[in-house]
Amino acid sequence: MTTRPRRAIVAAGGPRRDPLPRDGFCSMATVTAVEPKVTREQRAAIGEAVVRLERQFYGRGPSSVRVSVTEESPVSIVALSVDSLTAADRTLNARGGEDAVRRHVEALNAATREDFVRAIEEIVEQPVTAYLAQIHPLTGYGIRVFLFDEGEQTEI
């Protein structure tokens, strides 16, 4: 990932949602952005890593994983897992144990955090500065967000 300046339009009184202010008065500000350099091959490797790790730690992998990358700072890689619930999770849901599924998923996410972060860092060759993970206890959609920015890395 490299840094390049970006130009942003800032109207008097703060940023606007419109691309150009209606009154015609604006100033240009330079914003530092991180440009992602995540290749198609790296995206595929990220998807494969998520499937492999979920299979290793959860006993089964998702039916598919979709990986997307933002274009602006902070750069984020989002891995969406489809059908991530285990048979035990589905059984608990069917019998009113949604809270138990939520606690189970949260405990697994905390226990496997370092493994997922390490795998992504090895693929993109950049340190992850923040990691968020959640699996919806009813639908089984899982989301893992890996953030990269130029700020100081905090313990994740």
pLDDT band at 151 (very low <50, low <70, confident <90, very high): low
Q: What is the pLDDT of residues 82-136, one digit of tens each?
A: 999 999 999 999 999 999 999 999 999 999 999 999 999 999 999 999 999 999 9
Taking the complete model, does pTM exceed 0.75, yes or no?
Answer: no
pLDDT band at 16 (very low <50, low <70, confident <90, very high): very low
pLDDT value at position 152? Answer: 57
User: What is the C-alpha to C-alpha distance for residues 79 and 141, in angstroms, rounded to an integer?
Assistant: 10
Which DSSP category does 56 fall into? H
**Tokens standing for residue 142:** 């899982």
Q: Over 70: is that where the pLDDT of 19 sits?
A: no
Q: What would the 3-class secondary structure string for 91-118 be?
A: HHHHCCCHHHHHHHHHHHHHHHHHHHHH
